């Protein structure tokens, strides 16, 4: 949905949109509020030793938790009283495309879980493969065919392997390999 | 004369073949990340921060700076040809530049943007050369109370003034401050918010936050909401400016530079205000009715030349507060500060004495880099435009591989990759609900430093907050912070009343 579409909305549509935004916005506020409270809970266990005028190691944590709690409350109030103020219409579609999100998330999480076991090259190729499948589906590109899978695996390898070699061989940065050779 | 000699030493160091190569690679990479959607200079520098473990400090700072200002050159190409500014700095360029491109003058728009960036970048570099040492000399006299207030000023402008909503800006800033709190307290050595997880004792790496918030969040956002967005690319015409284009561009470049440079110098960050100011000025100054009519219709060349120059001047001049005060005013300068910290160097007034060779080599490399960028961006613009042909799914999935290098390469911890994903999710929420991200990064980097200065100031004042009001410089800064907070609101209130009455 582009801005030009939303400009064309009837007033009743706009009102409906605002109502639809109340809950997500309230949840965001609640998230901030809970973060503030959780940080306050954590701040209790930080001592105030070595501080002048009450400004010790626990001063900033308390300040942060109080401000975030207040901001959270304020955000909830804004959400419930007409929505966020000065809000830019977010870019892109109004509805999220969740299947694509699952593909990309799977890629990222499997990469995190497997990188030390199967090495950087294969783990990143897997991440690339899953992410590109999700992104292809999101943009309506062909995705399921064997040829596409093959092409994506090769592309993933062609990016990850040189990146691995460049960083491990030339820049001496430790990245996990499947073998100890520094090449795979 | 001292400055001249120091600069010459800097040149001697910067033109060694290895450093020239780092500069060239940095500028080329900067142009590429500026052109490519989905990846900006902050995240590019962040992803490459692990190289600080092995590469010499001068070489890597020259390299990172090349990426930093190179991205400003590349950014204009995308905003002129695609009308999707990669960053706020190119928003104004996109307005007029895209209209020029649509009416078949893409080449002239690209030329005025590149040459304007060069003119502004070079003039601003001269100003950095001449003024940074003086600011450093002056800054030596500042104590913890003044430093704390300068940082408070940076926090205030980045969160409460630059963004649209003060509430969301403040929330983002305090989320960043909270992230900066995780780990060992630097003064007392107490652990804070580590939750018994040993990986968190060292704190959260800035690489994770920057790469998570910008790169991973961008990919997740693209797959969730932007899969079906189709972009139209304007045709590239011959990169050439007529005599009349030159006549209209030169004054606009100079005015843009004059507006942009002071904005970069003050610890108040952001390229939005100077670029918009420059645009408004060019629009107002256009006397010829024919030129005036081009604004917003066929695209006026001054509307590209002025803001592009302002943008580059701001970005270059922002190195003054970074190098002399250690205060970053944008995402990228915050990460550059992180790069210095990785070497155990704290930018600040002492930098000009303790690391003089490094600073002057860096400044010399700015002159060299600007020339390289002019060459990279004018005759070779066709090459960069080809980058826009990379299909988005492949580009975005490829970005994730580089994100892994940055996040994993820093500490060799798979835990960080899970954290990276979580931060990416936070970034998607922030973007969807219009929370600014710069306050998070600036808060996280500057928070621990500001806290240390505050605690030192309080110990100087023996526990009394009056220490912030008793020294002439600190009281001046308090007044500036209050003015920055109050004046825009008062102005809005008055203009509202005027409009109502």
How far apart, in Å, are the Cα atoms of B133 and each of B55, B130, B353? 27, 7, 10
Name the residue among B118, B69, B67 with its Cα closest to residue B305. B118
* CB pair distance less than 8 Å for B227 and A75: no
d(CA A118, CA A176): 8
Q: Indicate whether A184 belongs to any domain.
A: no
Of A75, A101, A124, nearest to B167 by CB-CB distance is A75
Which pLDDT belongs to residue A2?
A: 31
Instruction: For residues B156-172, give the mean pLDDT.
Output: 85
Q: Do A173 and B53 touch (CB under 8 A)?
A: yes
Last residue of a domain, one of A80, A115, A130: A80
Instruction: Retrieve residue B279's tokens.
Output: 């645009």
Q: Using a CB-CB distance cutoff of 8 angstroms, which residues of chain A are in contact with residue B420?
A: 108, 112
Predicted pLDDT of residue B443:
92
Nearest to A120 by CA among A183, A45, A58, A49: A183
Give the pLDDT score at A4.
35
Contacts of A84 in chain B (CB under 8 A): 165, 168, 433-434
Mutate to test the interface with B, among A124, A127, A149 (most CBs of B within 10 A): A124
Instruction: Provide the shortest C-alpha distance from residue A108 to chain B (in Å).
Output: 7
Of A46, A51, A78, which is closest to B192 when you measure between CB atoms?
A: A46
Give the tokens for residue B84.
């999707």
Q: Which residues contact B47 (CB under 8 A, 6 or more apart)?
A: B207, B211, B215, B402, B403, B405, B406
Please answer yes or no on whether B408 and A120 come within 8 Å at the CB atom.
yes
Eight-state DSSP code of residue B50: G
* Alpha-carbon separation of residue B160 from A107, B165, B326, B480, B492 (angstroms): 37, 7, 21, 14, 14
Average confidence (pLDDT) over A37-62: 85
Mean pLDDT for the stretch of residues B433-456: 90
**Does some domain include residue A134?**
yes
Tokens (6 digits) for A69: 């709690």
Same domain, A64 and A103: no
Nearest Cβ partner of A135 from B51, B223, B402?
B223
Which tens digits make up the pLDDT trace of B89-133? 677 888 888 889 988 899 999 999 999 999 999 999 999 999 999
Is A117 found in the same domain as A54?
A: no
**Residues whose CB is less than 8 angstroms from the CB of residue A160 and which lie 6 or more positions away in sequence, other chains included:** A120, A121, A122, A124, A125, A128, B401
Average model confidence (pLDDT) for chain B? 89
Is residue A11 included in any domain, yes or no?
yes
On chain B, the residues whose CB falls within 8 A of the CB of A118 are none
pLDDT of A31 > 80? The answer is: yes
Chain B residues closer than 8 Å to A141 by CB? 391, 393
CB contact under 8 A, B408 and A131: no
- In terms of average pLDDT, the best of B84-88, B372-376, B496-500 is B372-376
pLDDT tens profile B253-292: 999 999 999 988 876 657 878 898 999 999 899 888 888 8
Is B188 in Cβ contact with A57 (below 8 Å)? yes
| A135 shares its domain with A161 | yes
Same domain, A116 and A56: no
Query: DSSP secondary structure string, B319-340?
Result: HHIIIII----SHHHHHHHHHH
- Which residue range forms the structural domain that includes residue B396? 2-500
The answer on A10 and A72 residing in a single domain is yes
3-class secondary structure, B289 = helix
Chain A nearest CA to B261, separation (Å): 29
- Chains A & B: contacts with CB separation below 8 Å: 231
Domain count, chain A: 2
What's the token pair of residue B462?
């023996």
Closest by Cβ to B164, choosing from A39, A86, A127: A86
Instruction: Give the pLDDT of residue B85.
Output: 63
Does some domain include residue A178?
Answer: no
pLDDT by residue (tens digit) across B204-219? Answer: 988 899 899 989 999 9
pLDDT tier, A3 (very low <50, low <70, confident <90, very high otherwise): very low
Q: In Å, how far is A15's CA from the nearest CA of chain B?
A: 18
Chain B residue with the nearest C-alpha to that of A126:
B401
Q: Do residues B65 and B347 lie in contact, with contact meaning Cβ atoms separated by under 8 Å?
A: no
A146 pLDDT above the threshold of 70: yes
The predicted structure's pLDDT at residue A9: 41
CA-CA distance, B416 to B405, in Å (whole number)? 11
pLDDT at position B268 is 63
Report helix, strand or coil for B186: coil
Does A73 share its domain with A106? Answer: no
Residue A176 resides in a domain: no
Report the alpha-carbon distance of residue A130 to residue A67 in Å, rounded: 40
Specify whether A52 is located in the same domain as A120.
Answer: no
pLDDT of residue B246: 94
From A50, A80, A110, the end of a domain falls on A80
Report the complex ipTM. 0.89
Name beta bridge partners: A52. Answer: A55
A37-44 contacts, C-beta under 8 A, 24 or more apart: A37/A65, A37/A69, A39/A64, A39/A65, A39/A68, A39/B178, A39/B193, A40/A65, A40/A66, A40/A69, A42/B192, A42/B193, A42/B195
Query: What domain range is A40 assigned to?
Result: 3-80
Contacts of B97 (CB under 8 A, 6+ apart): B76, B79, B80, B109, B113, B299, B303, B304
Task: Name the range with the highest mean pLDDT among A74-88, B326-340, B359-373.
Answer: B359-373
Residues of B with Cβ-Cβ distance to A168 under 8 angstroms: none
The answer, yes or no, to whether residue A69 has pLDDT greater than 80, is: yes
**What pLDDT, on a 0 to 100 scale, did the predictor assign at position A7?**
37
Contacts of A91 in chain B (CB under 8 A): 225-226, 229
**Closest CB to A67 among B174, B229, B432:** B174
Residue with tokens 């936070």: B426
Do A67 and A111 fall within a single domain? no
Distance of CA B157 to the CA centre of its chain: 14
To the nearest whole angstrom, how far is the Cα of B178 from the nearest Cα of chain A? 7
Q: What span, in angstroms and rounded, lies between the C-alpha atoms of A57 and A63? A: 11
- What residue in B sits closest to A153 (Cα-Cα)? B394
Q: What does the mean pLDDT of chain A come to?
A: 86
Count the domains in chain B.
1
pLDDT per position as a tens digit, A5-25: 333 344 444 445 567 788 999
pLDDT average, residue stretch B48-71: 92
Please give the model's pTM, rounded to 2 decimal places: 0.89
- Residue that wins the pLDDT comparison between B492 and B472: B472
Chain B residues with CB inside 8 Å of A59's CB? 451, 454-455
Nearest chain B CA: its distance from A165 CA (Å)? 12
User: CB atoms < 10 A from the CB of B425, how many?
Assistant: 16
Could B167 and A47 be called an inter-chain contact, meaning their C-beta atoms sit closer than 8 Å?
no
């Amino acid at each position: 949905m582009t801005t030009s579409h939303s400009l064309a909305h009837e007033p009743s549509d706009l009102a409906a949109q605002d109502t639809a935004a109340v809950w997500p916005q309230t949840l965001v506020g609640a998230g901030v509020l809970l973060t503030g409270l959780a940080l306050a809970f954590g701040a209790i266990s930080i001592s105030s030793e070595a501080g002048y005028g009450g400004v010790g190691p626990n001063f900033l944590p308390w300040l942060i938790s109080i401000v975030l709690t207040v901001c959270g409350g304020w955000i909830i109030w804004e959400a419930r009283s007409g929505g966020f103020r000065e809000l830019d219409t977010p870019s892109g579609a109004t509805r999220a495309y969740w299947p694509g999100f699952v593909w990309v998330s799977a890629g990222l999480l499997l990469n995190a879980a497997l990188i030390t076991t199967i090495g950087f090259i294969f783990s990143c190729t897997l991440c690339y493969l899953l992410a590109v499948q999700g992104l292809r589906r999101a943009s309506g590109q062909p995705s399921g065919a064997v040829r596409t899978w093959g092409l994506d695996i090769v592309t993933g390898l062609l990016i990850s392997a040189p990146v691995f070699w460049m960083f491990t061989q030339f820049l001496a940065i430790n990245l996990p390999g499947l073998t100890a050779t520094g090449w795979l | 004369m001292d400055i001249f000699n120091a600069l010459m030493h800097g040149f001697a160091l910067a033109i060694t073949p290895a450093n020239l190569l780092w500069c060239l690679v940095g500028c080329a990479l900067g142009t590429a990340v500026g052109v490519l959607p989905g990846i900006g200079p902050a995240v590019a520098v962040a992803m490459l921060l692990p190289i600080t473990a092995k590469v010499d400090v001068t070489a890597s700072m020259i390299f990172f700076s090349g990426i930093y200002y190179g991205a400003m050159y590349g950014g204009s190409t995308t905003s002129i040809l695609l009308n999707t500014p990669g960053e706020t700095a190119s928003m104004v360029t996109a307005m007029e530049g895209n209209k020029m491109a649509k009416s078949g003058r893409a080449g002239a728009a690209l030329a005025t943007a590149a040459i304007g960036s060069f003119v502004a970048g070079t003039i601003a570099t001269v100003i950095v050369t001449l003024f940074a040492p003086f600011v450093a000399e002056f800054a030596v006299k500042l104590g913890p109370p003044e430093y704390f207030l300068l940082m408070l000023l940076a926090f205030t402008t980045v969160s409460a003034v630059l963004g649209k909503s003060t509430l969301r800006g403040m929330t983002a800033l305090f989320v960043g401050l909270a992230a900066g709190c995780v780990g060992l307290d630097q003064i007392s050595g107490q652990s804070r918010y580590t939750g018994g997880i040993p990986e968190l004792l060292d704190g959260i790496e800035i690489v994770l936050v920057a790469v998570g918030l910008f790169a991973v969040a961008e990919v997740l956002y693209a797959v969730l909401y932007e899969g079906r967005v189709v972009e139209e690319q304007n045709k590239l015409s011959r990169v050439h400016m007529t005599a009349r284009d030159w006549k209209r561009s030169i004054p606009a470049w100079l005015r843009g530079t004059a507006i942009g440079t002071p904005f970069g110098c003050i610890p108040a960050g952001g390229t939005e205000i100077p670029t918009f100011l420059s645009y408004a000025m060019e629009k107002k100054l256009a006397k010829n009715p024919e030129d005036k009519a081009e604004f917003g219709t066929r695209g006026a060349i001054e509307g590209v030349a002025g803001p592009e120059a302002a943008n580059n001047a701001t970005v270059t001049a922002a190195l003054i507060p970074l190098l002399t005060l250690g205060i970053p005013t944008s995402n990228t300068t915050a990460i550059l500060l992180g790069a210095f910290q990785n070497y155990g160097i704290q930018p600040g007034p002492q930098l000009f004495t303790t690391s003089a060779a490094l600073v002057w080599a860096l400044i010399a490399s700015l002159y060299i880099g600007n020339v390289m960028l002019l060459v990279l961006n004018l005759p070779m613009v066709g090459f960069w435009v080809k980058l826009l042909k990379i299909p988005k799914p492949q580009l975005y999935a490829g970005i994730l591989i580089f994100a892994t290098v940055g996040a994993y390469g820093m500490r060799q911890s798979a835990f960080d990759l899970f954290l990276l994903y979580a931060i990416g999710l936070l970034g998607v929420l922030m973007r969807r609900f219009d929370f600014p991200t710069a306050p998070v990064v600036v808060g996280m980097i500057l928070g621990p430093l500001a806290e240390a200065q505050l605690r030192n100031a309080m110990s100087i004042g023996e526990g009394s907050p009056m220490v912030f009001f008793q020294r002439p410089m600190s009281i001046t800064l308090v007044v500036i912070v209050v003015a920055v907070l109050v004046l825009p609101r008062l102005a809005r209130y008055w203009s509202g009343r005027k409009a109502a009455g």
